[in-house]
Structure 1
Protein backbone atom coordinates (compact mmCIF):
# COMPACT_ATOMS: atom_id res chain seq x y z
CA UNK A 1 0.00 0.00 0.00
CA UNK A 2 1.32 3.38 -0.94
CA UNK A 3 1.89 5.75 1.92
CA UNK A 4 1.58 9.48 1.68
CA UNK A 5 4.40 11.66 2.86
CA UNK A 6 3.85 15.08 4.39
CA UNK A 7 4.98 18.01 2.32
CA UNK A 8 8.09 19.64 3.71
CA UNK A 9 7.50 23.03 5.36
CA UNK A 10 7.99 26.06 3.16
CA UNK A 11 11.39 27.65 3.89
CA UNK A 12 11.06 30.84 5.94
CA UNK A 13 13.02 32.70 3.24
CA UNK A 14 10.22 31.97 0.77
CA UNK A 15 7.55 32.98 3.26
CA UNK A 16 9.40 36.19 3.95
CA UNK A 17 9.69 36.94 0.23
CA UNK A 18 5.94 36.39 -0.21
CA UNK A 19 5.07 38.37 2.92
CA UNK A 20 6.84 41.47 1.61
CA UNK A 21 4.23 41.68 -1.15
CA UNK A 22 1.13 41.27 1.02
CA UNK A 23 -1.17 43.95 2.35
CA UNK A 24 -1.89 44.16 6.12
CA UNK A 25 -5.20 42.27 5.92
CA UNK A 26 -3.69 39.38 3.96
CA UNK A 27 -0.67 39.29 6.28
CA UNK A 28 -2.98 38.93 9.25
CA UNK A 29 -4.94 36.10 7.62
CA UNK A 30 -1.75 34.32 6.55
CA UNK A 31 -0.39 34.43 10.11
CA UNK A 32 -3.24 32.14 11.17
CA UNK A 33 -2.19 29.26 8.89
CA UNK A 34 0.44 27.72 11.17
CA UNK A 35 3.06 28.54 13.76
CA UNK A 36 5.77 28.96 11.14
CA UNK A 37 3.54 31.22 9.04
CA UNK A 38 2.62 33.22 12.14
CA UNK A 39 6.28 33.74 12.94
CA UNK A 40 7.09 34.84 9.39
CA UNK A 41 4.03 37.05 8.87
CA UNK A 42 4.38 38.81 12.24
CA UNK A 43 8.00 39.85 11.84
CA UNK A 44 8.80 43.38 12.93
CA UNK A 45 10.63 44.22 9.70
CA UNK A 46 7.35 43.65 7.79
CA UNK A 47 5.09 45.68 10.08
CA UNK A 48 7.44 48.54 10.97
CA UNK A 49 7.08 50.14 7.55
CA UNK A 50 3.29 49.62 7.62
CA UNK A 51 3.07 51.34 11.02
CA UNK A 52 5.27 54.21 9.87
CA UNK A 53 3.17 54.67 6.74
CA UNK A 54 -0.33 54.38 8.20
CA UNK A 55 0.10 55.43 11.83
CA UNK A 56 3.28 57.54 12.11
CA UNK A 57 2.14 59.13 15.38
CA UNK A 58 2.04 55.70 17.06
CA UNK A 59 5.57 54.63 16.16
CA UNK A 60 6.90 56.91 18.91
CA UNK A 61 4.99 54.90 21.50
CA UNK A 62 7.19 51.87 20.95
CA UNK A 63 10.48 53.68 21.52
CA UNK A 64 9.18 55.83 24.37
CA UNK A 65 6.94 53.51 26.38
CA UNK A 66 6.81 49.98 25.00
CA UNK A 67 10.04 48.95 23.27
CA UNK A 68 9.04 45.26 23.27
CA UNK A 69 5.60 45.84 21.73
CA UNK A 70 5.53 44.06 18.32
CA UNK A 71 4.85 46.30 15.34
CA UNK A 72 1.97 44.10 14.17
CA UNK A 73 0.31 44.66 17.55
CA UNK A 74 0.94 48.40 17.27
CA UNK A 75 -0.64 48.40 13.81
CA UNK A 76 -3.67 46.58 15.19
CA UNK A 77 -4.08 49.18 17.94
CA UNK A 78 -3.87 52.00 15.39
CA UNK A 79 -6.43 50.35 13.11
CA UNK A 80 -8.86 49.77 15.99
CA UNK A 81 -8.51 53.36 17.15
CA UNK A 82 -9.16 54.68 13.65
CA UNK A 83 -12.30 52.56 13.25
CA UNK A 84 -13.64 53.78 16.58
CA UNK A 85 -13.10 57.42 15.60
CA UNK A 86 -14.88 56.84 12.30
CA UNK A 87 -17.84 55.16 13.98
CA UNK A 88 -20.83 57.53 14.05
CA UNK A 89 -21.88 58.53 17.57
CA UNK A 90 -24.89 56.75 19.00
CA UNK A 91 -28.22 58.50 18.83
CA UNK A 92 -29.17 60.04 22.17
CA UNK A 93 -31.66 58.00 24.17
CA UNK A 94 -33.62 61.12 25.11
CA UNK A 95 -35.18 63.71 22.81
CA UNK A 96 -36.20 67.33 23.13
CA UNK A 97 -39.81 66.17 23.28
CA UNK A 98 -39.10 64.41 26.59
CA UNK A 99 -37.64 67.52 28.26
CA UNK A 100 -38.98 70.53 30.09
CA UNK A 101 -36.98 73.78 30.34
CA UNK A 102 -37.66 75.78 33.51
CA UNK A 103 -36.01 79.20 33.70
CA UNK A 104 -36.37 81.49 36.74
CA UNK A 105 -35.14 85.06 37.08
CA UNK A 106 -35.19 86.97 40.35
CA UNK A 107 -33.70 89.83 42.36
CA UNK A 108 -34.39 91.77 45.56
CA UNK A 109 -36.65 94.37 43.95
CA UNK A 110 -39.04 92.28 41.84
CA UNK A 111 -40.81 88.98 42.59
CA UNK A 112 -39.29 85.99 40.73
CA UNK A 113 -40.63 85.15 37.30
CA UNK A 114 -40.53 81.67 35.78
CA UNK A 115 -40.70 80.47 32.20
CA UNK A 116 -41.71 76.84 31.64
CA UNK A 117 -41.06 75.64 28.11
CA UNK A 118 -41.85 72.07 27.02
CA UNK A 119 -39.32 70.57 24.65
CA UNK A 120 -42.07 69.56 22.27
CA UNK A 121 -42.42 73.25 21.40
CA UNK A 122 -38.73 73.51 20.44
CA UNK A 123 -37.24 72.85 16.98
CA UNK A 124 -36.51 69.13 16.73
CA UNK A 125 -34.02 69.14 13.85
CA UNK A 126 -31.01 67.13 15.17
CA UNK A 127 -28.72 69.10 12.83
CA UNK A 128 -29.66 72.40 14.44
CA UNK A 129 -27.79 73.96 17.35
CA UNK A 130 -28.61 73.46 21.02
CA UNK A 131 -29.67 77.09 21.31
CA UNK A 132 -33.21 78.32 21.89
CA UNK A 133 -34.92 81.72 22.01
CA UNK A 134 -38.05 82.37 24.08
CA UNK A 135 -40.15 85.47 23.52
CA UNK A 136 -41.63 86.69 26.82
CA UNK A 137 -43.13 90.00 25.66
CA UNK A 138 -46.64 88.58 26.02
CA UNK A 139 -46.01 87.32 29.54
CA UNK A 140 -47.49 89.90 31.90
CA UNK A 141 -45.34 88.94 34.89
CA UNK A 142 -42.17 89.25 32.84
CA UNK A 143 -43.17 92.77 31.78
CA UNK A 144 -43.41 93.66 35.45
CA UNK A 145 -39.93 92.34 36.27
CA UNK A 146 -37.20 95.00 36.49
CA UNK A 147 -33.67 93.81 35.75
CA UNK A 148 -31.00 94.88 38.24
CA UNK A 149 -27.26 94.32 38.52
CA UNK A 150 -27.88 91.67 41.18
CA UNK A 151 -30.29 89.68 39.03
CA UNK A 152 -29.98 85.92 39.47
CA UNK A 153 -30.97 83.27 36.93
CA UNK A 154 -31.64 79.56 37.22
CA UNK A 155 -32.04 77.13 34.33
CA UNK A 156 -33.20 73.59 35.05
CA UNK A 157 -33.84 70.81 32.55
CA UNK A 158 -36.38 68.22 33.68
CA UNK A 159 -37.03 64.80 32.18
CA UNK A 160 -40.75 64.29 31.63
CA UNK A 161 -42.65 63.01 34.64
CA UNK A 162 -39.86 64.50 36.78
CA UNK A 163 -37.88 61.28 36.39
CA UNK A 164 -34.71 63.37 36.41
CA UNK A 165 -33.56 66.96 36.76
CA UNK A 166 -30.30 68.72 35.93
CA UNK A 167 -29.37 72.31 36.82
CA UNK A 168 -27.68 73.87 33.83
CA UNK A 169 -27.16 77.22 35.52
CA UNK A 170 -27.67 78.94 38.87
CA UNK A 171 -25.78 82.22 39.00
CA UNK A 172 -25.89 86.00 39.37
CA UNK A 173 -24.90 88.72 36.95
CA UNK A 174 -21.26 89.82 37.32
CA UNK A 175 -21.28 93.49 36.46
CA UNK A 176 -22.35 92.77 32.88
CA UNK A 177 -25.60 94.76 33.08
CA UNK A 178 -24.93 98.20 31.68
CA UNK A 179 -27.43 100.62 30.25
CA UNK A 180 -28.54 99.70 26.76
CA UNK A 181 -26.97 96.21 26.75
CA UNK A 182 -28.24 92.69 27.21
CA UNK A 183 -27.57 90.56 30.26
CA UNK A 184 -25.22 87.60 29.88
CA UNK A 185 -24.75 84.63 32.17
CA UNK A 186 -22.53 81.57 31.72
CA UNK A 187 -21.50 78.54 33.74
CA UNK A 188 -18.98 75.85 32.81
CA UNK A 189 -20.71 72.49 32.91
CA UNK A 190 -19.39 69.47 34.86
CA UNK A 191 -18.03 66.39 33.15
CA UNK A 192 -20.61 63.80 32.20
CA UNK A 193 -18.89 60.83 33.87
CA UNK A 194 -16.14 59.72 36.22
CA UNK A 195 -13.73 58.84 33.41
CA UNK A 196 -14.09 62.29 31.89
CA UNK A 197 -13.77 63.96 35.25
CA UNK A 198 -10.42 62.29 35.86
CA UNK A 199 -8.94 63.48 32.59
CA UNK A 200 -10.29 67.01 32.34
CA UNK A 201 -10.38 68.27 35.90
CA UNK A 202 -14.04 67.54 36.35
CA UNK A 203 -15.19 69.85 33.57
CA UNK A 204 -16.93 68.91 30.33
CA UNK A 205 -15.45 71.48 27.95
CA UNK A 206 -18.95 72.94 27.52
CA UNK A 207 -20.60 76.06 28.87
CA UNK A 208 -24.26 76.76 29.63
CA UNK A 209 -25.09 80.19 28.26
CA UNK A 210 -28.03 82.53 28.89
CA UNK A 211 -28.80 85.93 27.45
CA UNK A 212 -31.54 88.28 28.61
CA UNK A 213 -32.51 90.55 25.73
CA UNK A 214 -33.83 93.73 27.31
CA UNK A 215 -35.43 97.04 26.46
CA UNK A 216 -36.02 100.30 28.29
CA UNK A 217 -39.60 100.89 29.33
CA UNK A 218 -40.64 103.76 31.61
CA UNK A 219 -37.11 104.14 32.94
CA UNK A 220 -36.93 100.42 33.73
CA UNK A 221 -35.10 97.58 32.05
CA UNK A 222 -37.45 94.73 31.25
CA UNK A 223 -36.84 91.37 29.55
CA UNK A 224 -38.37 90.73 26.15
CA UNK A 225 -36.51 87.57 25.16
CA UNK A 226 -34.60 84.81 26.91
CA UNK A 227 -31.95 82.91 24.92
CA UNK A 228 -30.29 79.75 26.26
CA UNK A 229 -27.79 77.31 24.79
CA UNK A 230 -24.70 75.18 25.28
CA UNK A 231 -21.32 76.25 23.89
CA UNK A 232 -18.14 74.27 23.27
CA UNK A 233 -15.14 76.01 24.85
CA UNK A 234 -12.94 74.54 22.11
CA UNK A 235 -14.70 76.22 19.18
CA UNK A 236 -16.85 78.75 21.08
CA UNK A 237 -19.77 77.65 18.94
CA UNK A 238 -23.06 76.20 20.07
CA UNK A 239 -23.08 72.40 20.11
CA UNK A 240 -25.59 70.44 18.04
CA UNK A 241 -28.91 69.25 19.44
CA UNK A 242 -27.79 65.59 19.51
CA UNK A 243 -24.55 66.50 21.32
CA UNK A 244 -26.49 68.48 23.89
CA UNK A 245 -28.92 65.61 24.42
CA UNK A 246 -26.11 63.05 24.74
CA UNK A 247 -24.60 65.22 27.46
CA UNK A 248 -27.87 65.68 29.34
CA UNK A 249 -28.77 61.99 29.34
CA UNK A 250 -25.77 61.26 31.59
CA UNK A 251 -27.48 63.25 34.34
CA UNK A 252 -31.13 62.62 33.52
CA UNK A 253 -30.75 58.85 33.00
CA UNK A 254 -27.73 57.97 35.18
CA UNK A 255 -28.85 54.35 35.72
CA UNK A 256 -28.63 53.64 31.98
CA UNK A 257 -25.08 54.88 31.46
Structure 2
Protein backbone atom coordinates (compact mmCIF):
# COMPACT_ATOMS: atom_id res chain seq x y z
CA UNK A 1 0.00 0.00 0.00
CA UNK A 2 1.06 3.52 -0.73
CA UNK A 3 1.97 5.58 2.24
CA UNK A 4 -0.06 8.66 2.93
CA UNK A 5 1.13 11.64 0.94
CA UNK A 6 2.94 9.49 -1.60
CA UNK A 7 2.48 10.98 -5.05
CA UNK A 8 0.43 8.92 -7.46
CA UNK A 9 2.51 8.00 -10.46
CA UNK A 10 0.89 9.11 -13.75
CA UNK A 11 1.17 6.72 -16.65
CA UNK A 12 3.63 7.89 -19.22
CA UNK A 13 1.97 9.48 -22.25
CA UNK A 14 2.75 7.64 -25.44
CA UNK A 15 4.49 9.88 -27.88
CA UNK A 16 2.78 10.54 -31.23
CA UNK A 17 4.26 8.49 -34.03
CA UNK A 18 6.61 10.49 -36.18
CA UNK A 19 5.34 11.43 -39.63
CA UNK A 20 6.45 9.15 -42.41
CA UNK A 21 9.69 10.22 -44.02
CA UNK A 22 9.25 12.35 -47.11
CA UNK A 23 11.04 9.71 -49.19
CA UNK A 24 8.22 7.20 -48.49
CA UNK A 25 5.46 9.38 -49.92
CA UNK A 26 6.29 8.82 -53.60
CA UNK A 27 6.27 5.08 -52.90
CA UNK A 28 2.71 5.25 -51.57
CA UNK A 29 1.33 7.70 -54.15
CA UNK A 30 0.96 5.25 -57.11
CA UNK A 31 -1.42 3.10 -55.04
CA UNK A 32 -3.93 5.90 -54.33
CA UNK A 33 -7.05 6.75 -56.30
CA UNK A 34 -7.83 10.22 -57.62
CA UNK A 35 -9.83 11.41 -54.60
CA UNK A 36 -7.10 10.27 -52.18
CA UNK A 37 -4.36 11.89 -54.23
CA UNK A 38 -6.24 15.18 -54.35
CA UNK A 39 -6.88 15.14 -50.60
CA UNK A 40 -3.30 14.14 -49.71
CA UNK A 41 -1.83 16.88 -51.89
CA UNK A 42 -3.48 19.48 -49.61
CA UNK A 43 -1.68 18.38 -46.43
CA UNK A 44 1.60 20.23 -46.87
CA UNK A 45 4.12 21.39 -49.42
CA UNK A 46 6.08 18.14 -49.28
CA UNK A 47 2.89 16.05 -49.61
CA UNK A 48 1.79 18.21 -52.52
CA UNK A 49 5.08 17.59 -54.26
CA UNK A 50 4.59 13.84 -53.83
CA UNK A 51 0.87 13.47 -54.56
CA UNK A 52 0.35 16.14 -57.22
CA UNK A 53 3.15 14.89 -59.46
CA UNK A 54 2.07 15.04 -63.08
CA UNK A 55 3.07 11.43 -63.85
CA UNK A 56 0.52 10.18 -61.29
CA UNK A 57 -2.33 12.05 -62.96
CA UNK A 58 -1.09 11.06 -66.42
CA UNK A 59 -1.41 7.43 -65.31
CA UNK A 60 -4.98 8.03 -64.07
CA UNK A 61 -5.92 9.77 -67.32
CA UNK A 62 -4.56 6.87 -69.35
CA UNK A 63 -6.45 4.43 -67.14
CA UNK A 64 -9.86 6.16 -67.00
CA UNK A 65 -10.00 8.59 -69.94
CA UNK A 66 -7.41 7.52 -72.53
CA UNK A 67 -9.03 9.53 -75.32
CA UNK A 68 -8.59 12.69 -73.24
CA UNK A 69 -4.82 12.60 -73.67
CA UNK A 70 -5.19 13.70 -77.28
CA UNK A 71 -6.80 16.96 -76.10
CA UNK A 72 -4.04 18.02 -73.76
CA UNK A 73 -2.34 20.32 -76.26
CA UNK A 74 -5.65 22.04 -77.06
CA UNK A 75 -6.40 23.10 -73.47
CA UNK A 76 -5.28 26.47 -72.07
CA UNK A 77 -2.36 26.46 -69.67
CA UNK A 78 -3.64 27.46 -66.23
CA UNK A 79 -2.30 27.03 -62.74
CA UNK A 80 -5.73 26.55 -61.12
CA UNK A 81 -6.26 22.82 -60.75
CA UNK A 82 -8.75 23.21 -57.88
CA UNK A 83 -11.48 21.48 -59.93
CA UNK A 84 -9.90 18.11 -59.21
CA UNK A 85 -11.67 15.39 -57.31
CA UNK A 86 -10.66 16.74 -53.91
CA UNK A 87 -11.87 20.29 -54.63
CA UNK A 88 -8.85 21.57 -52.71
CA UNK A 89 -8.14 25.29 -52.91
CA UNK A 90 -5.26 25.48 -50.43
CA UNK A 91 -2.32 27.59 -51.49
CA UNK A 92 -0.01 24.63 -51.95
CA UNK A 93 -2.12 23.18 -54.77
CA UNK A 94 -1.57 26.15 -57.00
CA UNK A 95 2.19 26.40 -56.63
CA UNK A 96 2.83 23.61 -59.10
CA UNK A 97 0.12 22.90 -61.62
CA UNK A 98 -0.32 19.45 -63.18
CA UNK A 99 -1.78 19.59 -66.70
CA UNK A 100 -2.88 15.96 -66.48
CA UNK A 101 -4.60 16.66 -63.17
CA UNK A 102 -6.59 19.46 -64.82
CA UNK A 103 -7.40 17.16 -67.70
CA UNK A 104 -8.58 14.42 -65.34
CA UNK A 105 -10.76 16.91 -63.45
CA UNK A 106 -12.27 18.16 -66.71
CA UNK A 107 -13.37 14.70 -67.80
CA UNK A 108 -14.48 13.70 -64.30
CA UNK A 109 -16.81 16.72 -64.25
CA UNK A 110 -18.32 15.69 -67.60
CA UNK A 111 -20.35 12.94 -65.95
CA UNK A 112 -21.97 15.39 -63.52
CA UNK A 113 -22.98 17.71 -66.36
CA UNK A 114 -24.65 14.86 -68.27
CA UNK A 115 -27.71 14.67 -66.07
CA UNK A 116 -31.36 13.92 -66.75
CA UNK A 117 -33.44 16.96 -67.58
CA UNK A 118 -35.88 18.00 -64.87
CA UNK A 119 -39.53 17.14 -65.27
CA UNK A 120 -41.54 19.91 -66.95
CA UNK A 121 -43.33 22.34 -64.66
CA UNK A 122 -46.29 22.23 -67.04
CA UNK A 123 -48.57 19.19 -67.15
CA UNK A 124 -50.88 17.93 -69.88
CA UNK A 125 -53.78 18.65 -67.53
CA UNK A 126 -52.84 22.36 -67.73
CA UNK A 127 -52.98 22.57 -71.54
CA UNK A 128 -55.80 22.77 -74.09
CA UNK A 129 -55.65 22.97 -77.88
CA UNK A 130 -57.80 25.16 -80.12
CA UNK A 131 -57.82 24.32 -83.84
CA UNK A 132 -59.42 26.17 -86.74
CA UNK A 133 -59.45 24.77 -90.28
CA UNK A 134 -60.51 27.41 -92.78
CA UNK A 135 -60.88 27.89 -96.51
CA UNK A 136 -58.61 30.36 -98.27
CA UNK A 137 -61.45 32.87 -98.10
CA UNK A 138 -61.75 32.55 -94.32
CA UNK A 139 -64.83 30.31 -94.23
CA UNK A 140 -64.73 27.86 -91.35
CA UNK A 141 -64.49 24.20 -92.32
CA UNK A 142 -63.93 22.84 -88.81
CA UNK A 143 -63.23 24.37 -85.39
CA UNK A 144 -62.82 22.69 -82.02
CA UNK A 145 -61.11 23.01 -78.64
CA UNK A 146 -59.99 20.03 -76.56
CA UNK A 147 -58.03 19.48 -73.36
CA UNK A 148 -54.69 17.82 -74.08
CA UNK A 149 -55.28 15.24 -71.35
CA UNK A 150 -58.51 14.17 -73.08
CA UNK A 151 -57.03 13.91 -76.57
CA UNK A 152 -54.82 11.17 -77.95
CA UNK A 153 -57.23 8.26 -78.04
CA UNK A 154 -56.71 5.91 -80.94
CA UNK A 155 -53.43 7.45 -82.14
CA UNK A 156 -51.01 4.70 -83.08
CA UNK A 157 -47.76 4.68 -81.07
CA UNK A 158 -48.82 7.76 -79.12
CA UNK A 159 -47.73 6.41 -75.72
CA UNK A 160 -45.40 8.93 -74.17
CA UNK A 161 -45.28 11.16 -77.28
CA UNK A 162 -46.48 14.69 -77.86
CA UNK A 163 -48.99 13.36 -80.38
CA UNK A 164 -52.74 13.74 -80.03
CA UNK A 165 -55.76 12.58 -81.98
CA UNK A 166 -59.17 14.23 -81.91
CA UNK A 167 -62.16 12.35 -83.29
CA UNK A 168 -64.33 14.77 -85.31
CA UNK A 169 -66.19 12.21 -87.41
CA UNK A 170 -69.59 13.32 -86.17
CA UNK A 171 -69.22 16.93 -87.38
CA UNK A 172 -69.72 16.35 -91.13
CA UNK A 173 -66.81 18.55 -92.18
CA UNK A 174 -65.18 18.09 -95.60
CA UNK A 175 -62.07 19.90 -96.76
CA UNK A 176 -63.43 20.32 -100.28
CA UNK A 177 -61.45 21.67 -103.24
CA UNK A 178 -59.06 24.59 -103.18
CA UNK A 179 -56.55 25.97 -100.72
CA UNK A 180 -57.18 25.73 -96.98
CA UNK A 181 -55.56 26.96 -93.83
CA UNK A 182 -54.79 25.50 -90.38
CA UNK A 183 -54.47 27.53 -87.18
CA UNK A 184 -53.43 25.68 -84.00
CA UNK A 185 -53.19 27.47 -80.65
CA UNK A 186 -51.98 25.94 -77.37
CA UNK A 187 -53.58 27.44 -74.27
CA UNK A 188 -52.64 27.19 -70.61
CA UNK A 189 -55.93 27.09 -68.81
CA UNK A 190 -56.56 28.45 -65.33
CA UNK A 191 -56.74 24.99 -63.73
CA UNK A 192 -53.22 24.94 -62.23
CA UNK A 193 -54.36 26.51 -58.98
CA UNK A 194 -51.30 28.79 -58.83
CA UNK A 195 -53.27 31.95 -59.50
CA UNK A 196 -51.67 32.47 -62.91
CA UNK A 197 -53.75 33.95 -65.70
CA UNK A 198 -54.41 31.86 -68.80
CA UNK A 199 -51.82 32.18 -71.57
CA UNK A 200 -51.69 31.10 -75.20
CA UNK A 201 -49.10 30.53 -77.92
CA UNK A 202 -49.73 30.13 -81.64
CA UNK A 203 -48.27 26.79 -82.69
CA UNK A 204 -49.18 27.01 -86.37
CA UNK A 205 -50.90 29.29 -88.87
CA UNK A 206 -50.19 27.69 -92.22
CA UNK A 207 -51.77 27.49 -95.63
CA UNK A 208 -52.18 24.13 -97.33
CA UNK A 209 -51.90 24.48 -101.12
CA UNK A 210 -54.82 23.17 -103.17
CA UNK A 211 -52.48 20.69 -104.89
CA UNK A 212 -51.55 19.09 -101.59
CA UNK A 213 -55.16 18.80 -100.48
CA UNK A 214 -56.16 17.38 -103.85
CA UNK A 215 -53.35 14.83 -103.57
CA UNK A 216 -54.76 13.26 -100.42
CA UNK A 217 -55.10 9.55 -101.14
CA UNK A 218 -58.78 8.66 -100.75
CA UNK A 219 -59.98 5.58 -102.55
CA UNK A 220 -63.38 4.90 -104.00
CA UNK A 221 -66.06 3.07 -102.05
CA UNK A 222 -65.35 4.56 -98.62
CA UNK A 223 -61.55 4.60 -98.77
CA UNK A 224 -59.38 6.65 -96.45
CA UNK A 225 -56.50 9.06 -96.83
CA UNK A 226 -54.59 11.87 -95.17
CA UNK A 227 -53.76 15.51 -95.79
CA UNK A 228 -51.44 17.44 -93.55
CA UNK A 229 -49.14 20.37 -93.04
CA UNK A 230 -46.04 21.07 -90.93
CA UNK A 231 -44.54 24.40 -89.94
CA UNK A 232 -41.57 25.50 -87.86
CA UNK A 233 -42.37 26.43 -84.28
CA UNK A 234 -41.22 29.73 -82.78
CA UNK A 235 -37.94 29.41 -80.94
CA UNK A 236 -38.13 29.98 -77.16
CA UNK A 237 -35.05 32.21 -77.38
CA UNK A 238 -32.70 33.61 -80.01
CA UNK A 239 -31.82 31.51 -83.02
CA UNK A 240 -33.81 29.30 -85.34
CA UNK A 241 -36.39 26.80 -84.25
CA UNK A 242 -35.65 23.10 -84.60
CA UNK A 243 -39.12 21.86 -83.74
CA UNK A 244 -42.06 21.61 -86.11
CA UNK A 245 -45.76 21.54 -85.45
CA UNK A 246 -47.69 19.04 -87.54
CA UNK A 247 -51.42 18.81 -88.19
CA UNK A 248 -52.74 15.84 -90.16
CA UNK A 249 -56.35 15.31 -91.25
CA UNK A 250 -57.56 11.76 -91.61
CA UNK A 251 -60.11 11.74 -94.40
CA UNK A 252 -62.76 9.27 -95.54
CA UNK A 253 -64.83 8.84 -98.70
CA UNK A 254 -64.73 10.60 -102.00
CA UNK A 255 -65.98 13.79 -100.38
CA UNK A 256 -62.93 13.84 -98.11
CA UNK A 257 -64.86 14.06 -94.88
CA UNK A 258 -62.62 14.80 -91.91
CA UNK A 259 -62.77 11.93 -89.40
CA UNK A 260 -59.83 12.69 -87.14
CA UNK A 261 -57.32 15.47 -86.62
CA UNK A 262 -53.82 14.56 -85.39
CA UNK A 263 -51.71 17.17 -83.65
CA UNK A 264 -48.03 16.62 -82.95
CA UNK A 265 -44.64 18.21 -82.45
CA UNK A 266 -41.72 16.80 -84.39
CA UNK A 267 -37.96 17.11 -84.30
CA UNK A 268 -35.94 15.83 -87.25
CA UNK A 269 -38.78 13.64 -88.55
CA UNK A 270 -39.70 12.09 -85.20
CA UNK A 271 -42.33 12.97 -82.67
CA UNK A 272 -40.89 14.37 -79.46
CA UNK A 273 -41.82 12.94 -76.07
CA UNK A 274 -44.65 14.44 -74.07
CA UNK A 275 -42.13 15.89 -71.60
CA UNK A 276 -40.11 17.49 -74.42
CA UNK A 277 -43.24 19.10 -75.81
CA UNK A 278 -44.30 20.39 -72.40
CA UNK A 279 -40.82 21.77 -71.68
CA UNK A 280 -41.09 23.67 -74.95
CA UNK A 281 -44.56 25.04 -74.19
CA UNK A 282 -43.65 26.20 -70.70
CA UNK A 283 -41.27 28.79 -72.20
CA UNK A 284 -44.36 30.58 -73.49
CA UNK A 285 -47.14 29.57 -71.13
CA UNK A 286 -45.56 29.93 -67.67
Q: Does the C-alpha gap of structure 1 residues 231 and 63 become closer, same or farther in structure 2, counting only changes over 3 Å?
A: same
Shift of 1:61: 3.3
More helix by share: 1
TM-score by length of 2: 0.71
Q: Which residue of the partner structure matches residue 9 of structure 2?
A: none
Q: Does 1:188 align with 2:224?
A: no
User: Which runs of no fewer than 5 residues in structure 1 stay unpaired?
Assistant: none
* Structure with bigger gyration radius: 2
Q: Is the 8 A contact 2:128 2:189 kept in 1?
A: yes
- Distance in 1, matches of 2:248 and 2:70, equals 47
The match for 1:97 is: 125
156 and 39 in structure 1: CA distance in 2 versus 1, 3 angstrom threshold: farther
What is the Cα deviation at residue 133 of structure 1?
A: 0.8
Q: Is the 8 A contact 1:110 1:145 kept in 2?
A: no
| Residue 92 of structure 2: aligned partner | none
Per-residue CA deviations over 1:173-220 (Å, capped at 9, x if unaligned) read 2443204241121123344334xx3xxxx22x3222211111235xx3
Contact 1:103 1:155 in 2 (8 A): yes
| 1:153/1:52 CA distance change after superposition, 3 Å | farther
Q: Is contact 2:248-2:263 (8 Å) kept? A: yes
Q: Is the 1:96–1:122 contact (alpha carbons within 8 Å) kept by the matching residues of 2?
A: no
Instruction: Report if aligned partners of 1:147, 1:223 keep a CA contact under 8 Å in 2.
Output: no
Deviations 1:93-115 (A, max 9, x none): 01000001111111136722322
Output one character per residue of 1:131-178: Cα deviation in whole Å (capped at 9) or x when no partner.
111110112xxx244344521111111111353222222211244320
Question: Which residue number corresponds to residue 37 of structure 1?
Answer: 47
Tell me if the contact between 2:148 and 2:164 (Cα under 8 Å) persists in the aligned partners.
Answer: no
> Residues 151 and 166 of structure 2 are in contact (CA less than 8 Å); yes or no, is this contact kept in structure 1?
no
Question: Is 2:111 aligned against 1:76?
Answer: no
- Secondary structure of 1:211's counterpart equals strand
**Distance verdict in 2 for CA 1:95–1:61, change over 3 Å:** same
TM-score, normalized by length of structure 1? Answer: 0.78
Q: 1:160 pairs with 178, 189, 192, which one? A: 189
Q: Is 2:280 aligned against 1:252?
A: no
> Structure 2 vs 1, CA of residues 148 and 32 (structure 1 numbering), >3 Å: closer, same or farther?
farther
Q: Report if aligned partners of 2:203, 2:245 keep a CA contact under 8 Å in 1.
A: yes
Sort the Cα spacing of 1:122 and 1:224 in 2 relative to 1 into closer, same or farther, 3 A.
Answer: closer
Give 1:80 shift: 1.7
Once the two structures are TM-superposed, the CA of residue 227 in structure 1 deviates from its matched residue by: 0.5
Structure 1 residue 231 displacement after superposition = 1.8
Aligned length: 234
- Superposed CA deviations along residues 201-247 of structure 1, whole A, max 9, x for unmatched, are x22x3222211111235xx32211100111221xx321211121112
Q: Identify the match of residue 129 of structure 1 among 158, 161, 165.
A: 161
Determine the structure 1 residue equivalent to 2:212. Answer: 176
Contact preservation (8 Å) 1:110, 1:146: no
Taking a change above 3 Å as real, the CA distance of residues 54 and 169 of structure 1, as seen in their structure-2 partners, is farther
CA RMSD of aligned residues (A): 2.9
Q: Which sections of structure 2, spanning at least 5 residues, go unmatched?
A: 1-14, 80-98, 191-196, 218-224
